[in-house]
Structure 1
Amino acid sequence: MKISDRFYFIGIGGIGMSSLAKYLFDNGSYVSGYDRTKGSITDKLKDKGIQVIFKDSIEAIPEKFKLKGTKVIYTPAIPNDNIQLNYFMNNGFEVRKRSYLLGEITKGSKVFAVAGTHGKTTTSTILSHMCNSIKLNFTAFLGGIANGFNSNLISNGNEFSIVEADEYDRSFLELNPTISCITSMDSDHLDIYKNKANLVKAFKEFSKKTQKHLLVAKGLPIKGSTFSLNQKADYYASNIVEQNSGYKFDFHTPSKIYKNIKFNLIGLHNLSNAIAASAMIDLAEIPLNDALNSLKYFKGLKRRIEIFEIVGKIIVDDYAHHPIEIDSVFNAIKERYSNKRKAVIFQPHLYSRTRDFLNEFADSLSQFDEIYLTEIYPAREDPILGINSKKIIDNISNPSKEIVFKNDIENIIKDSKANLFAILGAGDIGDEIERLKIKYKVYEN
């Protein structure tokens, strides 16, 4: 697949799709694409000069991209009955999934690939921050907006590539990493894998594609160099001390101990991600001193333990959409804000995930003092009979619980007795939070 060709993206507003679209556009390709809804990502694409279509019809496709030779990229989140996708498939165009293009773009570089059911985006962003601080020649394709760059694409050269190895739809099997990391392998995407054994099998297949070094969280059933938060492993932390905006710790490698490292993000799960990123730097035989020193300047990323204030209430905004991720956010909040009354506003993501982890969601959410649920964000799925947010609510032990509309969030925050709100979910709840941040001038504070 030649990078100089025309590319049409179906689902161009997705966080992973948009970084590829921007990369190709910046490197001289003609780029356009379709998405179902407008948002901050599509706005930024249009600001760059990329034409984005919001109508799923053949007529809406720009004529230039109906010409033979157009390469069509789509995300697995696109439904099979998408009119544009079927037009291209039925008329002899080269149609590929996003993961194929990512593999092709990064093929000539040394690839850092971060896999795992949790922590991919934060680990990749920390790794990118560290590589940028030491002026490494690299490009990063991120699954979130890095605050230090205000982008999900960082282009500083092509010697190294940093990518997220997405397990959904087995997409990560398109990659050929030089150094890879597996942060976690908890049950998820059971609509694809059916059971955890199949998920683990796919991760093992991915691990065999790693060309040089494989790093795995200690305790996972895959052989490789190991990392851990605070248990002895090839890479781990000791003497962890909580500080105002994060942690101070000593970092252990197989050959050396680096003392008094500071990391600027709360949540022990995030510190674990920082350990994984630091280990990948070491495995690449890149000097660690300056890279580790940069962790104290890490600015985080949007919707990953992002903390700000609205109407005098502390807001913790996070992408958490799995019970284990909700637990991690709650533990981070509890550690930092032990004396606050804590509320959660959660938008469940996918009917299948809600069905598969119904009791786990209820248990995780019950830890908060007040619980508010919006209806399920369906993303790529059709409704499943009997699966809705009320099913979760009915299983929550805490009596302070309620189903709400997404556009009620502002009033809930104002009227609640809670002085801290965790706003969680991977769907369009993020758009509502973005609206509130603009209204209350969070970016100016």
Structure 2
Amino acid sequence: MTVYHFIGIKGSGMSALAQILSDMQYDVQGSDVDKVFFTQKPLEKKGIPLLPFQKENIQEGQTVIASAAYNEENEEIREATNKNIQVHQYPTFLGDFIQQFTSIAITGSHGKTTTTGLMAHVLQDAKPTSYLIGDGTGKGEQGSEYFVFEACEYRRHFLHYNPDYAIMTNIDFDHPDYFKDVEDVFQAFQEMAMQVKKAIIACGDDEHLQKLTAQVPVLYYGFNEDNDFYAKDVTTDENGTHFDAYVRSSFYGSFTIPGYGSHHVLNALSVIALCHYEEVELETIQKRLQTFQGVKRRFSEKTFGNQVLIDDYAHHPTEISATIESAKQKYPEKEIIAIFQPHTFSRTKTFLDEFANSLKSADRVYLCDIFSSAREKSGDLTINDLLERIPDAEQIHEDTMYRLLRHDQGVLLFMGAGDVQKFQAAYEKTAEKEGA
């Protein structure tokens, strides 16, 4: 049997794909740097060999898949070239792999990961479903009918895919190190739309997505009643968010989701629309939406004494606003504290004012230093540029986390795409030492 060898297996997409192939009984191994990443835990659990980078890992007869993060400077890629072994780039391999299923690409500037997890959770109760989530989660079901996967727009990677369906959650300007402006982002999505084979399900409340042209039907969802699928009568309580869904002005069903915030209702609507199109039973959709537990690093909560600690990947102003809105709806009586680590100098500089405005909706704001790769130059930007735009905001370090003890009944939102978890870990250590 062919051995699948993954170069850079600890990457979130790579890890998820390796898990899928392993579940489908293929022989899988991979290599990466020695540093520990959360994505390796499920690989170790499945007994997938994790090797250090070395040319000896490359053998004749393997199918070699490489992360986009590695090129000819990597000794394994050079060795494969020397042995005339084809190296499949991750997006290219995935684009070919999905063709054996009814494939559902989940894309958009925000909400991809949660929507992918939600779609997989609902569909797998209807028919055998495999899925690949951008948080490093992958599951391969033998005899799968559906393949649900997160399709990232960064560097136009999603143009490697020709899916049956595409869910498009929104279009926003992000990744300023690659995209020029929001029009450039839109053009990428427009190209993606032309590659979809059956139908596109897009958020009609998004002004950019309204301009899409495609060769397949485009079904719109949202709160506006002009959409094909829309939500009305939204209410919240301690059990979550409740709403009624309509299909082209006809009442379809009442739904409950555990999440809070309008973005969660929109994510659920996109799933309802796809399932309706694929004739999944209403009762199945209702039952599964209600039991979704979320995905890694998306509003991941834990009770800590009298406080609630939340770890969230939010690293764009729109995402920060949505996360704070969720916290306020779920905990209306509590103080909401934002602890934010900006991710990359280029994003921080581009969205400086927008970051400040979104963070101001929290009751108090603490800022960690900007997380950036060694390759990125800071220019003259520092965390102070953001601090001075937010009244009463304070900078916080791992050794000054004791300041958060003053919010003894608060909800602490640790937000960022870098290593903001280390600040939460430092806080928990400090609090336990202080006997809080």
For the aligned pair, the TM-score class normalised by the smaller chain equals 0.7 to 0.9
Instruction: Summarize the Cα distance change of 1:265–1:393 in structure 2 as closer, same or farther, 3 Å threshold.
Output: same
Check whether the contact 1:308–1:314 (CA below 8 A) recurs between aligned residues: yes
AA matched with 2:21? L
| Displacement after TM superposition at 1:164 (Å) | 1.0
Residue in 1 that maps onto 2:39: 41
Residue in 2 that maps onto 1:111: 103
Give CA-to-partner distance per residue, 1:260-310, whole Å, 9 cap, x none. 311121222111101111111112233333222321112122221222211
Cα distance between partner residues in 1 of 2:119 and 2:418: 25
Matching residue within 4, 7, 13 for 1:7? 4
Check whether the contact 2:245–2:252 (CA below 8 A) recurs between aligned residues: yes
| Displacement after TM superposition at 1:86 (Å) | 5.0
Check whether the contact 1:216–1:222 (CA below 8 A) recurs between aligned residues: no
Q: How do 1:161-200 residues align onto structure 2 when only pairs under 5 Å count?
A: 161-200=147-186
| Displacement after TM superposition at 1:209 (Å) | 0.7
| Displacement after TM superposition at 1:75 (Å) | 2.9
| Displacement after TM superposition at 1:225 (Å) | 1.0
Secondary structure of 1:426's counterpart equals: coil
Residue in 2 that maps onto 1:148: none
Secondary structure of 1:107's counterpart equals: helix
Cα distance between partner residues in 1 of 2:383 and 2:72: 26
1:74 counterpart = 2:66: yes
| Displacement after TM superposition at 1:41 (Å) | 2.0
Residue in 2 that maps onto 1:399: 392
Cα distance between partner residues in 1 of 2:406 and 2:5: 46
| Displacement after TM superposition at 1:144 (Å) | 2.6
Cα distance between partner residues in 1 of 2:66 and 2:425: 26
Secondary structure of 2:43's counterpart equals: helix
| Displacement after TM superposition at 1:36 (Å) | 5.5
Residue in 1 that maps onto 2:128: 137
Instruction: Summarize the Cα distance change of 1:177–1:330 in structure 2 as closer, same or farther, 3 Å threshold.
Output: same
Residue in 2 that maps onto 1:386: 380
Cα distance between partner residues in 1 of 2:249 and 2:414: 41
1:207 counterpart = 2:193: yes
1:155 counterpart = 2:141: yes
| Displacement after TM superposition at 1:198 (Å) | 1.7
Check whether the contact 2:18–2:28 (CA below 8 A) recurs between aligned residues: no
Give CA-to-partner distance per residue, 1:101-151, whole Å, 9 cap, x none. 2112211111111110001111111111111233x1210111136xxxxx4
Cα distance between partner residues in 2 of 1:80 and 1:322: 32
Check whether the contact 1:12–1:35 (CA below 8 A) recurs between aligned residues: no
Structure 2: any 5+ residue segments left out of the alignment? Answer: none
Cα distance between partner residues in 2 of 1:289 and 1:440: 45
Matching residue within 360, 363, 368 for 2:357? 363
Cα distance between partner residues in 1 of 2:123 and 2:227: 23
| Displacement after TM superposition at 1:25 (Å) | 2.7
| Displacement after TM superposition at 1:244 (Å) | 1.1
Check whether the contact 1:390–1:403 (CA below 8 A) recurs between aligned residues: no
Residue in 2 that maps onto 1:239: 233
Instruction: Summarize the Cα distance change of 1:87–1:322 in structure 2 as closer, same or farther, 3 Å threshold.
Output: farther
Residue in 1 that maps onto 2:212: 222
Check whether the contact 2:19–2:138 (CA below 8 A) recurs between aligned residues: no
1:333 counterpart = 2:327: yes
Cα distance between partner residues in 2 of 1:428 and 1:344: 15
Give the percent of matched residue pairs that are identical in Structure 1 and Structure 2. 27
Instruction: Summarize the Cα distance change of 1:323–1:88 in structure 2 as closer, same or farther, 3 Å threshold.
Output: farther
Residue in 1 that maps onto 2:405: 414
Cα distance between partner residues in 2 of 1:408 and 1:282: 51
Check whether the contact 2:4–2:26 (CA below 8 A) recurs between aligned residues: no
Residue in 1 that maps onto 2:92: 100
Residue in 1 that maps onto 2:251: 257
Cα distance between partner residues in 1 of 2:353 and 2:117: 32
Check whether the contact 1:25–1:31 (CA below 8 A) recurs between aligned residues: no
| Displacement after TM superposition at 1:81 (Å) | 4.9
AA matched with 1:293? K
Secondary structure of 2:124's counterpart equals: helix
Cα distance between partner residues in 2 of 1:80 and 1:367: 46
Cα distance between partner residues in 1 of 2:115 and 2:122: 11
Structure 1: any 5+ residue segments left out of the alignment? Answer: 55-59, 146-150
Count of paired positions: 423
AA matched with 1:74? A
Instruction: Summarize the Cα distance change of 1:378–1:82 in structure 2 as closer, same or farther, 3 Å threshold.
Output: farther
AA matched with 1:252? Y
Q: How do 1:313-332 residues align onto structure 2 when only pairs under 5 Å count?
A: 313-332=307-326
Check whether the contact 1:346–1:374 (CA below 8 A) recurs between aligned residues: yes
1:275 counterpart = 2:255: no
Residue in 1 that maps onto 2:347: 353
Instruction: Summarize the Cα distance change of 1:92–1:83 in structure 2 as closer, same or farther, 3 Å threshold.
Output: same
Give CA-to-partner distance per residue, 1:302-351, whole Å, 9 cap, x none. 22122221132112221111110001111122223233222111122222
Instruction: Summarize the Cα distance change of 1:390–1:5 in structure 2 as closer, same or farther, 3 Å threshold.
Output: farther
Cα distance between partner residues in 1 of 2:65 and 2:426: 30
Residue in 2 that maps onto 1:127: 119
Give CA-to-partner distance per residue, 1:5-62, whole Å, 9 cap, x none. 33332332222110111122333223212146203321331232222245xxxxx427
Matching residue within 46, 49, 53 for 1:51? 49
